[in-house]
Structure 1
């Protein structure tokens, strides 16, 4: 069992349901809270020092987006959740980063979990859980650390681009999830490039000691993307068929667009998955061919030296009565026979196209 799974088991085992316990590894992450409050005429953008500063925006007629970074600050999350009457199980799920994408319906809000994927500077895939709470006129988002894919959403709010300032909170949730899904395309595109580069290396015979490790890493990345995308399709499908008053009919068509994007990404992932299996087969075939070439060379060398060794063995025996031993040119005759055998066998192997 990995260290991460062991830590998770120790934290969760025997805990009372609804216990708000952070299960991630970023225990020293700084708390960061940003707030956007907007309507079609104006907007307010603030960097909050504490969650209490957001309380006054709950009853406003405008749409409010509160984005909290730092799931390790469970007390602040609990304070914010208490103010918005969030269920203890929701708060528990927010700080438990091992959840699959899902949607839960409550009386006056929806709770959604999505996986945000991106590559870091070392081209290693990073998966981060993002939790959303959709209320009548607000969206709460919870992230483990700073850095996300929502910069375009912030600009659309600031500069009144598109429909976001004219729509309600359900549309805001849509563009936030859509930003995550759109970033899946960037992830899968880079993933496809890595697979194609590895395929070219294997096909050209440029195999190193890290080739097997690279193939296994790509398999893990594909499985990670697949685990993030396939459950999310079920979540978006629930949005389409939802009759909750928080999701307006004119917004449902936008969620259908997300579902179409997820279907396209899923198809790409299935293709890449097949390519990875093909890469493994190609790698094993290449290794087998190289081994066969080595064995063929060794077999030819052994076949050539078997008769030469036989002759040398015969005349290396210590019998007193061997007529050839006393022949004046016996040494040169043996060498001649051995050379003729050597050249004759080379010609034979060449004619058979074994060389």
Structure 2
């Protein structure tokens, strides 16, 4: 997120009564990616988390804190600074939440799922956002791209960043949704390769397993974005007090991007389903072709087998046994019969 890493004080209080921050437990820098305060869209300073609440209460100041897999003590410190609801903090600690939007008094709590392609599989993470007057805190868990680029980009546009903490929420959600597309594009390239191979030959077991994994990952991604679509729609409707109605078009744009992602996921899943069905049809066609070849050669070989079987019987009085040219005649009959059968099967496309 920010270009600097903030170190928090880790000095224990003396024997006298500890201050509230010390009661929450002193927190080390681990887990804090950035902690900055902005005034009119311009970054004023990088601050320790213990001072964030004081800065957030100043007029025209916004505190933006970014955390990555923080320890419970760090979240307790943040909770104390901004008076966050315990249930929201508990959700951010557990990090196994469905995308949602909750209001706790004058604070807003948003959960979104992130996705990255790691070693050919879609890995999912979570981002929890606390938003209130003068502050926004993002908490990342699992696989997700750092929001450092978001912070750096909008710091170059103070006019936009000056719109407040709800604009930062838009920037984070827009970044999350935009990062779905590289994942889908990589899967789309692999799906095209599968399509090219499926008509050439039946799919091997490893190909079928990969196809199944892709369809399952796409389904999981779809299940992750559908609740987020509801979240963005609520932010667009203007019935969330923490989000100004003037930002509705921006959240509507995020909603449109989500719908595009949803359509692309559905399209890829259909293509994978068609590829699997096409592979089955190709396999059945090749099996039928092999069966026809085997049946054709079996019919051709049946002629000499039948003739040889008849004249191989050990009877004393059999017709044609004494013919001078009988052997050559039988050979000619066998060759002619086999040639006719081969021609007929070849003509019918069996051979």
| 1:347 CA drift (Å) | 1.1
Please say if 1:320 is aligned against 2:319.
no
Q: Is the CA contact 1:58–1:138 (under 8 Å) kept in the aligned structure 2?
A: yes
Which structure 1 segments of 5+ residues have no match? 1-29
CA gap 1:329/1:92 in 2 versus in 1, 3 angstroms: farther
Superposition deviation, residue 53 in structure 1: 5.9
Q: Take 2:90 and 2:222, find their aligned partners in 1: how far apart are those partners?
A: 25
State how far apart, in whole Å, the 2-side matches of 1:135 and 1:155 are: 22
C-alpha distance in 2 between matches for 1:256 and 1:331: 91
SS at match of 2:129: strand
1:43 — aligned with what? 43
SS of equivalent residue, structure 2 residue 209: helix
* Partner Cα distance (1:200, 1:267) in 2: 22
Give 1:243 deviation, angstroms.
Answer: 2.9
- Range moving further from structure 2, 269-278 or 73-82: 73-82
Count, aligned residues = 321
Q: CA–CA distance in 2 between the matches of 1:225 and 1:162? A: 34
- Equivalent of 1:194, from 182, 190, 215? 190
How do residues 79-228 of structure 1 correspond to structure 2 at under 5 angstroms?
A: 79-120=77-118, 122-145=119-142, 148-158=145-155, 160-161=156-157, 163-205=159-201, 207-228=203-224
- Residue 344 (1) aligns with residue 340 (2): yes
Identify the match of residue 245 of structure 1 among 230, 241, 244.
241
Structure 1 residues 52 and 311 mapped into 2: Cα distance closer, same or farther (>3 Å)?
A: farther
Is this contact kept in 2: 1:34–1:45, CA < 8 A?
Answer: no
- 1:226-245 CA distances to partner (integer Å, 9 max, x unpaired)? 11221111101111224333
**Most deviating of 61-70 and 229-238:** 61-70
User: Structure 1's 353 and 206: CA in aligned 2 closer, same or farther, altered over 3 A?
Assistant: closer
Describe the shift of the 1:172–1:313 C-alpha distance in structure 2 as closer, same or farther (beyond 3 A). same
- 8 Å contact from structure 2 (residues 37, 63) kept in 1: yes
For 1:289-328, list aligned pairs within 5 A.
289-328=285-324
| Matches of 2:273 and 2:35, distance apart in 1 | 46
Q: Distance in 1 between matches of 2:144 and 2:212?
A: 28
Q: Does 1:276 align with 2:275?
A: no
Tell me which residue corresponds to 1:66: 65
**Greater gyration radius:** 2
Q: 1:162 to 1:317 in 2, by over 3 A?
A: farther
5+ residue gaps, structure 2, are 1-29
SS at match of 1:210: helix
Per the normalisation by structure 1, the TM-score is 0.82
TM-score relative to the length of structure 2:
0.83
Deviation at 1:223, TM superposition (A): 0.5
Q: CA RMSD in A?
A: 2.4
